[in-house]
Amino acid sequence: MKSILFALRVSDLERSLTFYTTVGYVELSKIPLDDGATLVWLRLPDETSVSLELVHRPADGPVEVRGFEHFAIEVESLSAAVDRLTAAGLSPGEPVAHGPDGPKTAWLVDPDGYRFELVEWPPGGIPLGN
């Protein structure tokens, strides 16, 4: 088994598409549904297939984010990612180093309030416990 994608319901599809393409996602497909809803499949440039689905259901009203903690995106250089996103008009949080051998992280919030974490792993990769 493997994870394929995660889906986020969004209030304003164009606003969310602008946000996620600014982050770096590439739109793969837009799928209109019979009930007026639209699905949009996205992926990051280094990914080989869809990894994020935006679900727009106008009839359901605005999104209320409840119970969702966050998702994470790995970046090669956190400082470069934060600088690029800030220059593009987004507002990532200040980078934080988690110890001398730990990851560096910063937070970003999308237009509906979904939080995600930008992560730069230390040299040697992801520190996995036993």
% of the chain residues with pLDDT over 90: 82
Domains along the chain with CATH numbers? 1-59 (3.10.180.10), 68-130 (3.10.180.10)
Q: Which of 78, 67, 70, 37 is nearest to 54 (CA)?
A: 37
Q: In this structure, is the dihedral angle defined by the CA atoms of residues 20, 79, 117 and 47, taken in order, positive or negative?
A: positive
pLDDT at 121 over 60: yes
- Alpha carbon dihedral 30, 46, 25, 98, in 10-degree steps, equals 140
Answer yes or no: is pLDDT of 80 > 60.
yes
Scanning 65-119, the segments in alpha helix (DSSP H) are 78-87
Instruction: Kindly report, residue by residue over 31-61, the tens digit of the pLDDT.
Output: 999 999 999 999 999 999 999 999 999 999 9
- Cβ pair 4, 23 in contact under 8 A: no
Token pair belonging to 9 = 């319901």
- CA of residue 122 relative to chain centroid, distance: 21
- 1, two tokens: 């088994």
